[in-house]
Amino acid sequence: MGQPKRPGRTEALKRINVMRKANKRRLTAHWRERARQRGFDEADFRAACQTGRIEDEGEWDETHKNWKFRVVGYDVEHCEFKAVVGLGDDELILISGMRKAAGKWEEE
């Protein structure tokens, strides 16, 4: 199977929210590690999706066969929150999350 057409930012966020609400998501080990280290959880991701936008045009991940996007919004504590997600045909993969502190993002 080849690379599917890249969804636009609006379409990507819509698909992310549909899959999130349908619980069609998978948390990577990296996501779990970063969440533990940085003190965020899926509620922060949900809040960011509800208040946020897609930051980038998306990039194709040939290894995992999905589009990678960065969702930027506000978490439950009203801090800027960024989530790196993989958007597959029928699954949302949560890859990493970070907050902005003192004007800088934590590392992915």
DSSP the chain: --PPPPPPHHHHHHHHHHHHHTT-EEE-HHHHHHHHHHT--HHHHHHHHHH-EE-S--EEETTTTEEEEEEEEE-TTS-EEEEEEEE-SS-EEEEEEEEEETTEEPP-
Q: What is the pTM of this model?
A: 0.91
How far apart CA 89 and CA 87 sit, in angstroms, is 7
- Is it true that domain 9-99 has CATH number 3.30.2310? yes
17-74 pLDDT per residue, tens: 999 999 999 999 999 999 999 999 999 999 999 999 999 999 999 999 999 999 999 9
User: Domain coordinates of the chain in residue numbers?
Assistant: 9-99
Biggest alpha carbon–alpha carbon distance for the chain? 43
